């Protein structure tokens, strides 16, 4: 049975809207219940858990056959798991540290994948109200405005966003790569929410974004938004974007930035 991608998109818009409202409006209460995960930088609040529950329950109610991967609760197998099954990938709050500190740069990120291919992506910033959407082959939009990616193709003129893993030793090595890149690019930004970083490339607010050690829920939806805006999104040495590297840049900048990161030792990070 073929899947109506528009229906998936509408469901994702609805559920990220509900979750975004919950997250935004429960911040005062949620940040009094904070746990750490892999390190003191890797935090989870009561709102992460409540928003994930809301979206998972909504997906299970609307589409019980689908599979779901959530940052906080892991894998949920649907009733129809097999070829052609829709698999949702959810980050209830991407940018949890920003959320904790009241920095208005965090998002609810929800993507749908079929047979390993990302087909729908929604990234919602509940504070600014901006909603980024994409359907495979249908373009990328912010609040209905078509996104066309950044224009700059020279590294020396490129504003490059990045992020850091939670492991402290990795962070030290990631800092060395940033130190090498800084004199070669226009400047570096570390906003703290990978999904929004990818959407920022899609709309040309930055020229590129890269990060090593990132999780599927961080880049699934934003990666599709960027791709559909004409941005090249890929990983290390021609591999798909993944834990080794997520690199997003205009096609004419991509190889230069990729090769520069390799020369600077990104593979040792
Ligand atoms: C984190 C953010 C951050 C990135 C980290 C992610 P989380 O996601 O996207 O910008 O640098 O790698 O883990 O933990 O806030 O959902």
Q: Could you read off the pLDDT of 92-102 as tens digits, one per residue?
A: 999 999 999 99
User: How far, in Å, CA of 209 to CA of 178, rounded?
Assistant: 12
Q: Is the CB of 163 under 6 A from ligand 1?
A: yes
* Position in ligand 1 atom list of the atom nearest CA 162: 11
Q: Is the CB of 202 under 6 A from ligand 1?
A: no
pLDDT digits (tens, 9 = 90+) for 138-148: 999 999 999 99
| Cβ proximity of 103 and 191 under 8 Å | no
Distance, CA 51 to ligand 1 centroid (Å)? 16
Q: Any idea what the Cα angle at residue 199 is, between residues 198 and 204, rounded to 5°? A: 100
Provide the CATH topology of domain 5-146. Fructose-1,6-Bisphosphatase; Chain A, domain 1 (3.30.540)
CATH of domain 155-268: 3.40.190.80
**For atom 2 of ligand 1, which residue has the closest CA?**
193
Distance, CA 174 to ligand 1 centroid (Å)? 14
Per-residue pLDDT of the chain (269 residues; tens, 9 = 90+): 689 999 999 999 999 999 999 999 998 888 887 888 777 877 788 899 999 999 999 999 999 999 999 988 888 877 776 778 999 999 999 999 999 999 999 999 999 999 999 999 999 999 999 999 999 999 999 999 999 999 899 999 999 999 998 888 889 999 999 999 999 999 999 999 999 999 999 999 999 999 999 999 999 999 999 999 999 999 999 999 999 999 999 999 999 999 999 999 999 98
**For atom 11 of ligand 1, which residue has the closest CA?**
163
Residue 79 tokens read as 């009733």
Residues of the chain with CATH 3.30.540.10: 5-146
* Position in ligand 1 atom list of the atom nearest CA 165: 12
Residues of the chain with CATH 3.40.190.80: 155-268
Distance, CA 107 to ligand 1 centroid (Å)? 10
User: How far, in Å, CA of 123 to CA of 145, rounded?
Assistant: 14
* Position in ligand 1 atom list of the atom nearest CA 98: 15
């Amino acid at each position: 049975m073929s899947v109506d991608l528009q229906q998936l998109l509408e469901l994702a818009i609805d559920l990220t809207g509900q979750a975004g409202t919950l997250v935004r409006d429960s911040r005062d209460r949620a940040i009094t219940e904070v746990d750490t995960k892999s390190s003191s930088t890797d935090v989870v609040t009561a709102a992460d858990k409540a928003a994930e529950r809301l979206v998972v329950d909504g997906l299970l109610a609307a589409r019980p056959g689908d599979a779901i991967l959530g940052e906080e609760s892991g894998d949920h197998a649907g009733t129809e798991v097999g070829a052609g099954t829709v698999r949702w990938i959810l980050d209830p709050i991407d940018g949890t540290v920003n959320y904790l500190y009241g920095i208005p740069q965090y998002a609810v990120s929800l993507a749908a994948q079929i047979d390993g291919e990302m087909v729908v992506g929604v990234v919602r910033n509940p504070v600014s109200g901006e909603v980024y959407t994409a359907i495979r082959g249908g373009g990328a939009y912010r609040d209905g405005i078509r996104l066309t990616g950044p224009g700059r193709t020279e590294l020396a003129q490129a504003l490059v966003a990045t992020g850091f893993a939670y492991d402290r030793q990795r962070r030290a090595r990631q800092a060395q790569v940033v130190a090498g890149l800084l004199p070669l690019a226009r400047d570096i930004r570390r906003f703290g929410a990978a999904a929004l970083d990818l959407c920022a490339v899609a709309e040309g607010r930055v020229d590129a974004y890269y990060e090593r050690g990132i999780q599927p829920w961080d880049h699934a939806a934003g990666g599709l938004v960027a791709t559909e805006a004409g941005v090249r999104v890929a990983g290390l040495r021609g591999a798909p974007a993944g834990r080794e590297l997520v690199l997003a840049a205009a096609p004419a900048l991509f190889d230069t930035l990729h090769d520069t990161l390799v020369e600077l030792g990104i593979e040792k990070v």
